[in-house]
Chains A and B, each alone.
Chain A
Amino acid sequence: MKARNQGITRDSIFRVLVTIAAAITLLLIAAIVYELYNGSTASIKAFGLSFIVGTVWDPALKNVFGALPLIWGTLVTSAIALILAVPLSIGIGILLSEFAPRVVRFPFSLLVELLAAIPSVIYGLWGIFVLAPTLRSSVYPAIQGILGFLPLFSGEVTGFGVLTAGIVLAIMIIPTITAVSREVFNSVPNTQREAFFAIGATRWETAKHIVSYARSGVIGAIMLGLGRAIGETMAVTMVIGNRFEIPSSLFQAGYTMSALIANEFNEANGALYVSSIVEVGLVLFVITLLVSAVARALVWRSLRMYKGASME
């Protein structure tokens, strides 16, 4: 009797503790939103919606701020990163959980996860000194040779630009997506595999089913990767070229929201200038929320459609 009462007390203490932990997270987010909004009121009052569609950033003369090139840069680099990283990462995840011999799995996973532990400034330096020169001298000219007629791949090739930033981001989010999706695939019950093999499915069909079965975990993995790509600052700043313009070609230099904040916040002088940089932070926050919500809905839907098809 006594022991049971104790159990109930412990239960309720535990519940309170967990609730507090969750509440702190929510409070923290609320505090961040409040502080971002508070800091950007001057800029919101001065520019309103034109802040989001404006393309001029002039802290020196006119004191006019518009963030469209930054928003564009953030969305495009993140999209490139996802397009490159998601198929690769899910592939590696499947390989590690379904195909690779047991002896290789552990060391290989370790190596992939090691990539996630590399500080972003190192990726940035590597981007400046190794990746950008290589892309400029051999890869980009080859792409331009084949696809140069498209405006997307035209223009001068410097090695620093939107595409390079997207590639660096892709490399940075591959370990995150891979590690999480591999764990997710591993946690799929073996009965699922056995059942598929039992009805004579090939390994390919089984793997397709595993991905579909684990879709919510895979979405989570992709969201983690997307979150890192949208918010990544250091490495992108170092390779994107930091040019305040909406580039028409993927080889051109661009700018992202987080890169501008990192570059200009320290030495920003003047109330409206500082307020505008804080508003960039607010816009980044809102876009992260929106993009996560939309992407989650999209991926969820496509996976459900795919699952529906595979069931037929």
Chain B
Amino acid sequence: MSAVGIVVMIVVIAAAGYVLLYSGGGSGKPNTSTSAIVQAINYTGAIQGAGATFPQPFYSNLSAQFNILVPGVQVNYNGIGSGGGIKAFTNLTIDFGASDAPMTDAQWQAVPSLAVHMPMVIGGIVAAYSLPGVNTGLVFTGDLLAKIYLGQVYSWNDPAIQALNPGVTLPNHNITVVHRSDGSGTTFAWTQYLSASNANWASQVGSSTSVNWPLTSSSGAGSGNAGVAALLDSNHPYSIGYVEYTYATLNNLAYGYVKNAAGTVVQPTVDSFSAAVAAAASVLPRGNQTWSQVSIINAVANNATAATAYPVTTFTYILVYQDLSTVPGMTQTKAYALVAFLWWATHDGQLYAPQLHYVPLSSNVVTVDEATLHTITFDGKALLP
């Protein structure tokens, strides 16, 4: 074979491979628009983001995968906490921020220019416990969990727990209540659920990244999911706490099901989290409106029609400025790269969510994010076609 022939053959094979790669994206579902958007990136350099720690493993993985796809673009993400993320975003020291809770109206109005919220991935929180002889599947209600955390229900064989779990032998032993010692989006979601389910909790404790915990007779506090889990092991029996669903499943913790407002006992699964998002999605604002009131938990906790929804389900957000020229040092090409990355992250990037035990966005939320990305501009000019 002549040299020319070899060159022609290589070119043909490469072209075929290229077409295959970008038409299929490896997902089996052709997504030509995403690949076209990514291919149009004409930027080399870093994009800086910072914020919530909960989605950090997911964002780090997205960054690595995106770097394979577009070798010139390095997306750096620092998990400094949601509060720090909002602060750095407001002070214009990063290109995008991330937060587990949406910005409050005060925060949203304090930013130098209009900021948009983009739900990026979904998380669920479960009640995990260490109870000798009892495995996963103990049934709770939000009201009962609030009463346990208030110290009003303090024994495992309390009639309120027994009534929800007929046939389970519950020990006559005091409940040790475990909570997070560090401020966290997980605590925010958990206390929001307790507030929505129990009026006493709402009026006495409320919801935040860290709260004034009622001083029950027996309690413990651990730092991070790991710290809570350490207080729920076999050395600490008769305890109950709350952790990320993914953390509970990865570490084989026993966790509870929830009887939701529709009266259905729901097992926390990717499907029941998605059902919760679907129940809340009809009332989602546009990206450039305020999101301060958005809460899947509040939308589901007392919604008697969301039969298959697991109520303790929450978004985590990425924050960007609607006009990216707000950020110092931003250029047209860099702004486009950021928007293209976010588009890819909400589409093909979601494929990486389940393997890291996050819940991918449902299609109705992706639609909201798509509309948001179309409104993002640089110096007033839209970035996406």
Residues of chain A at the chain B interface (Cβ within 8 Å): 56-62, 128, 133, 156, 158, 160, 237-238, 241-245, 253, 259, 262-271, 274
Residues of chain B at the chain A interface (Cβ within 8 Å): 53, 80-84, 86, 101, 104, 106-107, 181-185, 188, 191, 203-213, 215, 218-221, 223, 227, 230, 235
**Cα distance, A274 to B209, chains bound together (Å):** 12
Would B205 and A61 count as touching, CB distance under 8 A? Answer: yes
Would B182 and A266 count as touching, CB distance under 8 A? Answer: yes
A259 cross-chain contacts in B, Cβ below 8 A: 181
A254 to chain B, nearest CB (A): 11
B82 cross-chain contacts in A, Cβ below 8 A: 266-267, 269
Would A61 and B212 count as touching, CB distance under 8 A? Answer: yes
**Cα distance, A59 to B209, chains bound together (Å):** 8
**Cα distance, A263 to B222, chains bound together (Å):** 10
Instruction: Determine which of B53, B203, B207, B220 lies in contact with A160 in the assembled complex, contact meaning CB atoms within 8 Å.
Output: B220
**Cα distance, A60 to B188, chains bound together (Å):** 9
Would B83 and A266 count as touching, CB distance under 8 A? Answer: yes
A118 to chain B, nearest CB (A): 19
Would B230 and A59 count as touching, CB distance under 8 A? Answer: no
Instruction: Determine which of B81, B183, B212, B219 lies in contact with A56 in the assembled complex, contact meaning CB atoms within 8 Å.
Output: B212
A266 cross-chain contacts in B, Cβ below 8 A: 53, 80-84, 182-183
Would A61 and B204 count as touching, CB distance under 8 A? Answer: yes
B83 cross-chain contacts in A, Cβ below 8 A: 265-269, 274
Instruction: Determine which of A58, A133, A264 lies in contact with B183 in the assembled complex, contact meaning CB atoms within 8 Å.
Output: A264
B210 cross-chain contacts in A, Cβ below 8 A: 59-60, 263-264, 267-268
Would B206 and A263 count as touching, CB distance under 8 A? Answer: no
**Cα distance, A274 to B84, chains bound together (Å):** 10
Would B220 and A269 count as touching, CB distance under 8 A? Answer: no
Least CB separation from B187: chain A residue: A267
Least CB separation from A59: chain B residue: B208
**Cα distance, A62 to B203, chains bound together (Å):** 10
Subset of 29 A-B contacts with CB under 8 Å: A56-B212, A59-B210, A59-B211, A60-B191, A60-B210, A61-B203, A61-B205, A61-B212, A237-B223, A238-B227, A242-B223, A244-B212, A244-B213, A262-B182, A263-B182, A263-B183, A265-B81, A265-B183, A266-B83, A266-B84, A267-B81, A267-B83, A267-B182, A267-B209, A269-B86, A269-B101, A269-B107, A269-B208, A274-B83
Would B223 and A238 count as touching, CB distance under 8 A? Answer: yes
A128 cross-chain contacts in B, Cβ below 8 A: 230
Main secondary structure of the interface of B (DSSP, over half): loop
Would A58 and B219 count as touching, CB distance under 8 A? Answer: no
B207 cross-chain contacts in A, Cβ below 8 A: 60
- Rank and list the top 7 A-B pairs by shortest CB-CB distance, nearest first: A266-B81, A267-B183, A61-B206, A60-B208, A60-B206, A58-B212, A242-B181
Least CB separation from A136: chain B residue: B235
**Cα distance, A293 to B104, chains bound together (Å):** 44
* Most chain A beta-carbon contacts within 10 A, residue among B104, B208, B227, B230: B208
B222 to chain A, nearest CB (A): 8
A268 cross-chain contacts in B, Cβ below 8 A: 83, 183, 209-210
A241 cross-chain contacts in B, Cβ below 8 A: 220-221
**Cα distance, A245 to B216, chains bound together (Å):** 12
A133 cross-chain contacts in B, Cβ below 8 A: 235
A245 cross-chain contacts in B, Cβ below 8 A: 215
Would B206 and A158 count as touching, CB distance under 8 A? Answer: no
**Cα distance, A160 to B220, chains bound together (Å):** 9
**Cα distance, A56 to B211, chains bound together (Å):** 11
Would A243 and B84 count as touching, CB distance under 8 A? Answer: no
A170 to chain B, nearest CB (A): 22
Least CB separation from B81: chain A residue: A266
**Cα distance, A247 to B106, chains bound together (Å):** 37
**Cα distance, A163 to B159, chains bound together (Å):** 37
Would A264 and B182 count as touching, CB distance under 8 A? Answer: yes
**Cα distance, A61 to B213, chains bound together (Å):** 11
A253 cross-chain contacts in B, Cβ below 8 A: 219-221
Least CB separation from B182: chain A residue: A263
**Cα distance, A245 to B214, chains bound together (Å):** 11
B203 cross-chain contacts in A, Cβ below 8 A: 61
B304 to chain A, nearest CB (A): 27
* Most chain B beta-carbon contacts within 10 A, residue among A265, A268, A271: A268
A62 cross-chain contacts in B, Cβ below 8 A: 212
B223 cross-chain contacts in A, Cβ below 8 A: 237-238, 242, 263
A244 cross-chain contacts in B, Cβ below 8 A: 212-213
B221 to chain A, nearest CB (A): 4
**Cα distance, A241 to B207, chains bound together (Å):** 21
Would B182 and A269 count as touching, CB distance under 8 A? Answer: no
Known pairs A128-B230, A243-B215, A244-B212; A269 contacts B185 (CB<8 A): no
**Cα distance, A237 to B188, chains bound together (Å):** 21
A269 cross-chain contacts in B, Cβ below 8 A: 82-83, 86, 101, 104, 107, 208-209
**Cα distance, A274 to B208, chains bound together (Å):** 13
* Most chain B beta-carbon contacts within 10 A, residue among A58, A128, A242: A242
Would B215 and A60 count as touching, CB distance under 8 A? Answer: no
B271 to chain A, nearest CB (A): 29
**Cα distance, A56 to B227, chains bound together (Å):** 24
**Cα distance, A241 to B223, chains bound together (Å):** 10
Least CB separation from B231: chain A residue: A160
**Cα distance, A61 to B205, chains bound together (Å):** 6
Instruction: Determine which of A60, A158, A237 lies in contact with B205 in the assembled complex, contact meaning CB atoms within 8 Å.
Output: A60
A60 cross-chain contacts in B, Cβ below 8 A: 191, 205-208, 210-212
**Cα distance, A268 to B183, chains bound together (Å):** 7
**Cα distance, A277 to B203, chains bound together (Å):** 24
**Cα distance, A61 to B203, chains bound together (Å):** 8
Would B183 and A57 count as touching, CB distance under 8 A? Answer: no
B209 cross-chain contacts in A, Cβ below 8 A: 59, 264, 267-269
